[in-house]
Amino acid sequence: MGLLDGKVAIVTAAAGAGIGQAAARRFAQEGARVVVSDAHARRVQDVAEAMSREYGSEVPALAVDVRDAEQVRRLVEATLKQFGQIDILMNNAGINRLVPVWEMDEETWRLVIDVNLTGTFHCTRAALPHMIERKSGAIINMASVVGWFGSGDGEAHYAAAKAAVMGFTRAVAAEVGPHGIRVNAIAPGLIYNEFLERIYPKEFFERFVSRVPLGRAGEPPDIADVALFLASDLSRYITGEVICVSGGAFMGP
C-alpha cells in the first residue's frame, strides 16, 4: 500500500525539470491519482503521457496559467469531473527574473508577484470549497528561504512574493483548520535543475554550495519527499508550518 492510496492530487507547474514533476511522480508512486498542470501546453502533455505509461493509469494534463482565475477554476472542475474529489493541492508554480530593484519595471514586478503569490491564491481559493465540503484536504505551498533572509542577487520581487506565501500559508491554515484541512509550505534553499542555469550565473551555484553543511545543492526529489510527507497522514497534526529544506545552509529564521 502507498501513503496516498485513494487520494487525488493536483500539482501546478508539474511539467518542468524541477520540483513539480518530481512531486507529481512521487505522489503517483505512492498511489495518488495525479492531475498535472503547467503553463506550457505541449510539455505538460508529454509529461502526462510518460507518467501514464510509467504508472499504468491515466494522468490527466491541463495547460493552466495560474495567473488566470478562470483557467484555475476549469482545472478544479475538470479534476472533480474525472475523479470526484481533490485531496491534495501542491501550489508549485513560480517564476523569477533577476533584476536590481532600481532597474525593475512594473511588468517584471507584476509577473513574479502574480505567478508566485496570486497564482497560489487562485488555486487555493478554487480548491477550498470542495475540501471544506469534504472536511479534508492538504495544501502545500512553495515558499523559499529568500522569503526569510532576502537576497542580494536581484530578487526583491521574488523575496517579497515568497515571504507573502509564508504569511498566506499561516493565515489560511488558521481559517480552514476547523474544517479538517491542513496548509503548509516548503522553503527550499538551492534546488538545482538545468533550467536554473538560464537564470543564475555559474558563480551563484558555486557560492551557494560552499556554505551548505551537507556539501551539495539540493535536488528535486529532496523536496518531493517533503511534499509527500506533508500530503500524507504522516503529517496529520502539522499545519501552518513553513519547512526549510536547504541542506543546513539556513538553520531557522
pLDDT on residue 191? 86
pLDDT on residue 252? 64
Half-sphere exposure of 204 (CA within 13 A, CB side): 16
pTM, rounded to two decimals: 0.94
Nearest Cα to Cα of residue 249 among 207, 213, 195, 223:
213
pLDDT on residue 203? 72
The single-letter code of the amino acid at 141 is N
Contacts of 190 (CB under 8 A, 6+ apart): 205, 208, 209, 212, 217, 218, 246, 249
Active site includes 192?
no
The arrangement of secondary structure in 8-245, i.e. its CATH architecture, is 3-Layer(aba) Sandwich (3.40)
Mapping DSSP to helix (H, G, I), strand (E, B) and coil, where does residue 20 land?
A: helix
Cα 132 from Cα 220, distance rounded (Å): 30
Query: What does residue 116 show for φ and ψ, rounded to 5 degrees?
Result: -75, -40
93-111 pLDDT tens trace: 999 999 999 999 999 999 9
Cα 190 from Cα 187, distance rounded (Å): 10
Least confident of 64-68, 76-80, 202-206, 244-248: 202-206
187-246 pLDDT tens trace: 999 887 776 666 667 777 777 788 889 988 899 999 999 999 999 999 999 999 999 999
C-beta atoms surrounding 178 within 10 Å = 9
126-157 pLDDT tens trace: 999 999 999 999 999 999 999 998 888 899 99
* Angle at CA of residue 204, ends 198 and 210, nearest 5°: 140
Mapping DSSP to helix (H, G, I), strand (E, B) and coil, where does residue 216 land?
A: coil
Mean pLDDT value across the chain: 94
Cβ pair 76, 86 in contact under 8 A: yes
Active-site position among 158, 192, 200, 237? 158
Which residue ranges make up each domain of the chain? 8-245
